[in-house]
Amino acid sequence: AQSVTQLDSQVPVFEEAPVELRCNYSSSVSVYLFWYVQYPNQGLQLLLKYLSGSTLVKGINGFEAEFNKSQTSFHLRKPSVHISDTAEYFCAVGPNSGTYKYIFGTGTRLKVLA
C-alpha cells in the first residue's frame, strides 16, 4: 500500500533563510508526487508535481523539490523564505494502477519569523 510521511509537523525559520520540508513515500510502482500549500481558511493549491522526467522539479513561488527514488523522498526546498510563505504544506502521492486514490501526508506547518 502507498503511504506518505512528513516527519516534521512544524518548522520555524527566519525570514530570508533557506528551508527544507521533508517528505518520504512508500510505493511499489511508479509514483506521481505532489506538493500543495494551504493558507489559513483556504483550500489547497498545487505548488509543484513530479510525473516523470527530470528529478528536479520547479514550482511556483520559488519552491523546488527533488525526486529521489533510492531514498523514496520528495523534499521541498526554498533558498530564501518570506513571511508570506507561512502556511501548511502537504505532500501527496498519486494513484497507482488500478486505483484512483491520492494519499496525503499529515502536513508541515511552516512558520516564517521576522
Binding site for other proteins (CB under 8 A): 6, 9, 32, 34, 36, 41-46, 49, 51, 90, 94-95, 100-102, 104-107
Q: Which is nearer to other proteins, 51 or 83 (CB)?
A: 51
CB of 70 to other proteins, least distance (A): 22
Minimum distance from CB of 34 to other proteins (Å)? 6
Residues 111 and 91: their CA atoms lie apart, in Å, by 17
Minimum separation from the CB atom of position 104 to other proteins (A): 4
Q: Which is nearer to other proteins, 55 or 99 (CB)?
A: 99
Nearer Cβ to other proteins (34/67) = 34
